[in-house]
Amino acid sequence: MPTFLRKRSIVSLLIAFTLLLGVIVATVLINARQQHDQANVQRSLDIELRLAHVFSLVQDAETGQRGFLLTEKESYLLPYEAAVRELDAEFAALGARVSDNQHRVAALAALRVDVQEKLAELRKTIELVRDGRMEDALEEVRSDRGQALMRRAREAVQRMSAAEQQILVERQAYSAGAAALTRTGEILALLLAIALGALTIKDSQRLFAKIADANEALRVANTKVLEESQQKERLEQQLRQSQKLEAIGHLTGGIAHDFNNMLAVIISSLNLLKRRAERGEKDFLKFADSALDGAERAAMLTHRLLAFARQQPLSPQAVDCNKFVAGMSDLLRRTLGEMVKVETVLAGGLWRTFVDPSELESAVLNLAVNGRDAMPDGGRLTIETGNASLDDVYAAQHVGVPAGQYVLVTVTDTGVGMAPEVAAKAFDPFYTTKGIGKGTGLGLSQVFGFVKQSGGHVKIYSEPEQGTAIKIYLPRFFGDDTEPASSPAAAATVVPMGSPDIVVLVVEDEERMLRLASEAFHDLGYTALQADGPATALRIIAERPDISLLFTDVVMPEMSGRSLAEEALRQRPGLKVIYTTGFSRNAVIHNGVLDRDVNFLTKPFTLEQLARKVRAVLKGAE
């Protein structure tokens, strides 16, 4: 071969080798770039999916909050709590994926701020409900601030998703350009380079197909998420409305049923009493007793409703539960009968608690009666006291229960027990497993409301055919300047009478209540003056220096009973005052607890209750 041909061949080979090497190098570099682009595409897809999940979690949190606002049941907050826990992890994962792009980092930070503001709004309404400020919580919802925050979060997610879509388009365009350069190089390369280029094109086409399929899948997924979100919101609105109507119907139906029964007894008894009296017959006292019994049952029903709603006025005192339970022993044995054996297990070194003794007695008696009813053939009822400490782990597992030290009162029976689904609804108002006419379904609701209003916790442990234990945790009292209260069961049964030289001014804007209250004081032996309003009362106080006691309603149109008493005490510093009302949220009661300087008698009251309250107040003035 001629030298120049050999040289040409060598040059050609070198050129061919160089071209082939260039094609190989270019192919390797392009493949590496494509793999990098594919990783970026996957990262963009992952970012979009995580953004959609973040928005879904915010919706779950709002759903949990709405359910809790409607029902005040802590179980409805499970979606909210799960969403709060997951959101931090999702934001951390998103932060790792966008850390190489300052625009992405800024957008993610803005989204996180929107989400945190939304969660803060949800948390605020939840805390308001837990504090018993339902109206404030509803006002917060009606302000539409939550809707605006949700809209901002949705728009932020959409902006970030649109940005990721733009990045995907740019990367597709870059990949298309790289493929064109590869095809141009392949045309100029040798046949081997052309074959290699063809393979590269084939790989590129598969990659483009995958990217197109992923984009289509993402588009379909986004459409599905939006449709499901809208459908979920519609279903949740229907569910909330249905649950609201069901709860209202259940509550009003139970109240109407029980009140109608009690009103039937009162009206029938009074009608019969009137007819017997008109005929001159003397056998009518039994009808008066029946009417009084019906009225007292109606008053007890109202009291239980207020207890369940955590609105009954409490007068807490330092209580030694050992002495308290011991003082109730005789009452329990008389109430439960001979077929039930009552045992008490009193702990040594028991702490004191700070509760309303009357309400605590009512709660223990309610639990004891429920235990008796669960043992139709007799059995054993045990009341046990002890010290207890609830740690942070327990508090985290039971929403609304603060960790700390508690005084524990446990009422255990050996009765039929409860299935889990029954125990789960045991504290619901008007829910009862007893036969018709054998229970209102408010006993455990009253216990629950009283314990929660006192800052405590109540827990049911029960198994079918094994009995039931209900544990009441009452906060430990750390004060040392209060004499421990004993059980009200030991109170005297004799009605204390007054004397005519003790003058009582009765202030009541309702004419019939004014007349009846005055007659009650006359029957107890006191001299009673009447005032139909605060202005008349102040005039009488100025004219009669012999008035010893002011008995006033709290809610009146001109001024409240508290304002009247303050003005009367300014004129007569030694005057004793007793307030009375059927329901008052803030005049003499704050956070469900009576003010320390208040003597209070809840309407309706019996003659015996009035006599004892007046005697106690006047005796304290001696």
Q: Please answer whether residues 549 and 614 qualify as being in contact, where contact means their C-beta atoms are separated by less than 8 angstroms.
A: yes
- 31, two tokens: 């493949």
Higher pLDDT pick, 190 / 110: 110
Amino acid at site 32: A
To which H or E segment does residue 216 belong? helix 191-278
pLDDT exceeds cutoff 60 at 586: no
- Per-residue pLDDT band for 307 (boundaries 50, 70, 90) equals very low
Rounded mean pLDDT, 505-514: 90
Rounded mean pLDDT, 188-195: 64
Q: Which residue has the tokens 């009822």?
A: 381
Structure confidence at residue 98 (pLDDT): 81
CA-nearest of 336, 409, 410 to 375 is 336
Report the alpha-carbon distance of residue 182 to residue 174 in Å, rounded. Answer: 12
Report the alpha-carbon distance of residue 462 to residue 467 in Å, rounded. Answer: 6
Q: In what order do the strands lie in the sheet with 600-602?
A: 527-531, 503-507, 547-553, 576-581, 600-602
CA-nearest of 376, 382, 379 to 438 is 376
Q: Please answer whether residues 462 and 496 qualify as being in contact, where contact means their C-beta atoms are separated by less than 8 angstroms.
A: no
First to last CA, the chain: 141
Higher pLDDT pick, 525 / 33: 525
Sign, Cα dihedral of 269, 271, 273, 279: negative
CA-nearest of 406, 408, 407, 446 to 426 is 446
Compute φ and ψ for 421, nearest 5 degrees.
-70, -30
- Per-residue pLDDT band for 172 (boundaries 50, 70, 90) equals low
Structure confidence at residue 142 (pLDDT): 83
Structure confidence at residue 534 (pLDDT): 92
- Per-residue pLDDT band for 486 (boundaries 50, 70, 90) equals low
Structure confidence at residue 153 (pLDDT): 80
Structure confidence at residue 350 (pLDDT): 92
Rounded mean pLDDT, 339-368: 88
Pairing of strands 547-553, 503-507: parallel
Helix (H/G/I), strand (E/B), else coil: 398: coil
pLDDT exceeds cutoff 50 at 490: no
- Per-residue pLDDT band for 229 (boundaries 50, 70, 90) equals confident
Strand locations in 451-546 (E):
457-463, 467-475, 503-507, 527-531
Percent of the residues in the chain that have a pLDDT greater than 90, as a whole number: 14
Report the alpha-carbon distance of residue 79 to residue 64 in Å, rounded. Answer: 5
Q: Which domains does the chain have, with CATH numbers?
A: 1-200 (1.20.120.1730), 319-475 (3.30.565.10), 503-620 (3.40.50.2300)
Structure confidence at residue 87 (pLDDT): 86
pLDDT exceeds cutoff 80 at 331: yes
Per-residue pLDDT of 263-272, as tens digits, reads 655 776 676 5
Per-residue pLDDT of 102-159, as tens digits, reads 888 888 888 888 888 888 888 888 988 888 888 888 888 888 887 888 888 888 888 8
Return the minimum-mean-pLDDT range out of 65-79, 322-336, 501-515, 583-597. Answer: 583-597
Q: Which residue has the tokens 């009690």?
A: 262
- Per-residue pLDDT band for 590 (boundaries 50, 70, 90) equals very low
Structure confidence at residue 406 (pLDDT): 93
Helix (H/G/I), strand (E/B), else coil: 600: strand
Report the alpha-carbon distance of residue 111 to residue 55 in Å, rounded. Answer: 10
Assign 3-state DSSP to the chain and report helix, strand, coil percentages, each to 5: 65, 15, 25
Amino acid at site 242: S
Report the alpha-carbon distance of residue 532 to residue 32 in Å, rounded. Answer: 95
Structure confidence at residue 122 (pLDDT): 87
- Per-residue pLDDT band for 530 (boundaries 50, 70, 90) equals very high
CA-nearest of 147, 129, 130 to 138 is 129
pLDDT exceeds cutoff 80 at 17: no
Return the minimum-mean-pLDDT range out of 165-179, 441-455, 516-530. Answer: 165-179
Structure confidence at residue 621 (pLDDT): 46
pLDDT exceeds cutoff 50 at 539: yes
Report the alpha-carbon distance of residue 594 to residue 587 in Å, rounded. Answer: 9
In sequence order, the β-bridge partners of residue 580 are 553, 601
Q: Please answer whether residues 215 and 207 qualify as being in contact, where contact means their C-beta atoms are separated by less than 8 angstroms.
A: no
- Dihedral angle of Cα 113, 118, 119, 125, to the nearest 10 degrees: 150
Amino acid at site 565: A
Q: Please answer whether residues 316 and 360 qualify as being in contact, where contact means their C-beta atoms are separated by less than 8 angstroms.
A: no
pLDDT exceeds cutoff 60 at 594: no
To which H or E segment does residue 578 belong? strand 576-581
- Per-residue pLDDT band for 606 (boundaries 50, 70, 90) equals confident
